[in-house]
Amino acid sequence: MAEARKWFDNSQPQTLQGAVMLSYITAFFGILSLIGGAAIFAIVPLAIGVAGFGVANEKRWGYGLGVGLSAFNVIESGALLFLVGISALGTLSVLLSLLFAVILFALFIHPQSREYQRIWFK
Sequence-distant (≥ 6) Cβ neighbours of residue 9 within 8 angstroms: 16, 17, 20, 56, 57, 58
36-44 LR contacts (CB < 8 Å, sep 24+)? 44/69, 44/72, 44/73, 44/76
pLDDT per residue, tens digit, the chain (122 aa), is: 456 789 998 899 999 999 999 999 999 998 988 888 777 778 899 999 999 999 999 999 999 999 999 999 999 888 887 877 765 656 777 888 899 999 999 999 999 999 999 998 98
Per-domain residue ranges for the chain?
14-117
